[in-house]
Amino acid sequence: MRIATIFLYYLIFILASIFFVKADRSNNDKAIRAYIICGVVILSLFACFRGPIVGWDTRDTVDLYFNRAKSYDSIKSIFTYSYRFKEPIYIFFSFLLQKITDSGRVFLFFMQLLTVGPVAVVAYKKRNTLSISVIMFVYMMLFYQRSFNIVRQSVATAFLFLGWVYLTDRKFVKATLIFVLTCMLHSSGIIGVALVLALYIFTNDINVAIRYCMIFVAIIVGAVTLTVWKSLALNLIEGGILNERYSGYVSIMSGDVSNQYNTIQFRDNAIEIMRLLGTIIVMLFLKGKHTGSNREILFLKYSVILSFIIYTIVEVGFGVTLGHRLTIYIDYFQMALFAHYYPKSTFDDKRISTGVIIIPKTGVRYGLAYCMLYNFIIYMFVNYGHTLPYQLT
């Protein structure tokens, strides 16, 4: 059953990839959009037909938001309790869907569409320089099955990824609006926005001396934060910036209570090793010709390094398995990073039509192989997130 499920996942990935590759090879804008939509719909349909036990958060997400919306008789009743204002979009979205359908599958379809959709929009916007199929391939290998678990946060992360595109294009109004939306989608979105803005400022065109000063200040701030993190987190919760649910995470990380997150298992060690491998590949092997500006590539590479540092501090330093909730906001940038070293122009080569796969000599082959290996080891072999076996009921 499990082996059959693994083949099923990869079959879905192949079917979706066929459309994404067609989008890369097409010069017709309408055809590109159509191919991308087809690939996105395939991934969203497969996600919506999963049973409640496929993914840790699937049942809770449907019960907590969609089924609870049955008790609301008006939009006004949605906001009866003040805590709902912190992540109001899901409640409102669930309420609207409840008026249309009583199916939890439809809810899961739209939730997945809101996760894959922004990533596909990024791929479309960058279609002239970046490979659509590489962006979506990295998404499928690293993040698709993860979105079956941290469902709401995955949606917030996808929109943050889209906001970054507007930020790099210096469309600051659009970027700001999407960053605000990210925070409304998930209260931890403020952490993701802060990390993106910090990386953007750090990698901007600034004097080398200033950059070293920023590194020194960052080290000092990081050291201070590690000593007062608990009181800082509690103040953010009390101030309404973070959701009250995070008080439980604070208790777990401080050792005040025992929880499943305090138990480091084989899967967590495997993830740490794979993250280390990915960071090494980005630092040592991913180099040479690329399609991005040096500033953008610096941002993307530093995001991988910063993600590994944060994840290691949380997982090893604090001994809890919550690192992925902090790093997911910058993990998504691997999609753009690998795509910059595998440009769209590669698909214009006539050898593609003969079935020859062309991989530029930039080290990206190691990056793409890493993505495939990560997917097989973490999601298929270790079964992180319990997305295996895939079941309809």
In a domain, 233, yes or no: yes
Structure-block tokens of residue 3: 């082996």
In a domain, 386, yes or no: no
Q: Can you give the pTM of this predicted structure?
A: 0.91
Structure-block tokens of residue 249: 């995470």
In a domain, 387, yes or no: no
DSSP H stretches of helix in 281-390: 294-312, 323-331, 334-340, 364-374
Residue 262 neighbours by CB distance under 10 Å: 15
Structure-block tokens of residue 66: 């969609």
Residue 186 neighbours by CB distance under 10 Å: 27
In a domain, 388, yes or no: no
Q: How many structural domains does the chain have? A: 1
State how far the Cα of 71 lies from the Cα of 386, in Å rounded to an integer. Answer: 30
DSSP labels, 194-245: HHHHHHHHHTSS--HHHHHHHHHHHHHHHHHHHHHHHHHHHHHHHTTSS-TT
Using CA atoms, how far residue 104 sits from 74, 111, 113, in Å, is 20, 10, 14
Tell me which residue of 145, 138, 189, 57 sits closest to 388, measured CA to CA. Answer: 145
In a domain, 94, yes or no: yes
In a domain, 81, yes or no: yes
Please report how the helices 2-25 and 132-142 are oriented relative to each other, as an axis angle in degrees rounded to 10: 160
DSSP labels, 277-302: HHHHIIIII--S--SS-HHHHHHHHH
10-residue mean pLDDT profile of the chain (393 residues): values are 89 97 93 98 95 84 73 67 58 79 85 96 95 97 94 94 96 96 88 93 76 74 75 75 71 72 80 96 94 93 95 87 90 97 78 68 93 97 92 77
In a domain, 173, yes or no: yes
In a domain, 155, yes or no: yes
SS3 343: strand
Range of the domain at 46: 2-381
